[in-house]
């Protein structure tokens, strides 16, 4: 896992940027997976190495266990402040940021929204969110291909969201690793687009099993890319029969009202739980 995304490399700089001030904070101290070649985890009888394929499993368990502790703390932090946190996941280019821009503008007079943006490099998306009218923090993961709970903890505290508000975590564009990492969110939501085809859910089943809602974006392009909505819904149901599906276009605002209403419903359910 660490070897796949690069987050174990001490040279990988993980940073957080506030687009309001331009201030950059290095997060490597919190996201420290670096280690000697031989090491000992609590509960291990003997030190072990990473050389053989079978030795990767204890490392994955240790990394996920550490992440889950931070995620539990995040969940309590969000609940204590009445903040509904959503983890938005997708492959690159699905239109997550465009959807967030449209959502922020549409709901400006209804709810407060803050956004944590995850990308390997640049603060472009956080700038877009700020220009749309919401507070945002950019996390750059360097070689890492997913956000982790300790990164979200620092970003959330920096954003200081209002009580009763909505926080959306736009994860790094990747349909593999983010499925494994709990960030303390209320819900994972997958965004796919008509331009990606209908088979994304069956190609990446672990991710689609982990979500409660699937948004099919770029419906305005469906006629031009021969997108089969019925087949896509069938593939989603095959992997996760309990997942709700919403079709929309963040570009034309088709279906945006239903999406915004769903966000309100999620927030109400979160407040009541």
* Backbone φ, ψ for residue 109 (5° rounding): -95, 10
Given this model, what pLDDT does residue 88 score? 98
Max CA separation in the chain (angstroms)? 59
pLDDT of residue 42: 37
Contact 188, 218 (CB under 8 A): no
How much is the pLDDT for 273? 82
- pLDDT of res. 1: 43
- Please, what is the end-to-end C-alpha distance for the chain in angstroms? 34
- Closest by CA to 232, choosing from 220, 214, 257, 209, is 214
Mean pLDDT per 10-residue segment, the chain (273 residues): 52 82 72 40 40 51 87 98 98 97 97 96 94 96 91 96 97 94 97 98 97 98 98 98 98 98 97 88
Structure confidence at residue 9 (pLDDT):
59
CA dist., res. 251 & res. 220, Å (int) = 8
Q: What is the pLDDT of residue 21?
A: 82
> What are the structural domains, with CATH classification, of the chain?
2-272 (3.40.50.300)
């Amino acid at each position: 896992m660490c070897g796949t995304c690069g987050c174990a490399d001490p040279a990988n700089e993980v940073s957080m940027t506030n687009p309001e001030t331009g201030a950059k904070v290095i997060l490597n101290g919190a996201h420290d997976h670096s280690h000697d070649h031989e090491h000992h985890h609590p509960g291990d009888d003997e030190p072990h190495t990473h050389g053989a394929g079978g030795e990767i499993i204890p490392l994955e368990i240790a990394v996920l266990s550490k992440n889950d502790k931070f995620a539990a703390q995040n969940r309590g932090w969000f609940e204590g402040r009445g903040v509904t946190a959503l983890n938005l996941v997708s492959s690159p280019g699905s239109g997550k940021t465009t959807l967030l821009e449209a959502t922020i503008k549409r709901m400006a007079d209804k709810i407060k929204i803050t956004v944590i943006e995850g990308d390997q490099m640049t603060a472009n998306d956080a700038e877009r969110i700020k220009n749309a009218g919401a507070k945002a923090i950019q996390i750059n993961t360097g070689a890492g291909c997913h956000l982790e709970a300790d990164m979200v903890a620092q970003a959330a505290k920096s954003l200081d969201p209002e009580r009763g508000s909505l926080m959306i975590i736009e994860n790094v564009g990747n349909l593999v690793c983010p499925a494994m990492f709990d960030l303390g969110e209320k819900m994972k939501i997958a965004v796919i687009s008509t331009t990606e085809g209908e088979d994304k859910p069956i190609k990446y089943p672990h991710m689609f099993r982990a979500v409660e809602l699937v948004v099919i974006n770029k419906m305005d392009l469906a006629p031009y890319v021969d997108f089969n909505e019925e087949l896509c819904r069938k593939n989603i149901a095959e992997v996760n029969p309990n997942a709700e599906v919403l079709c929309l276009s963040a570009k034309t605002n088709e279906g945006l009202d239903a999406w915004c209403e769903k966000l309100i419903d999620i927030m109400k359910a979160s407040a009541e739980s």
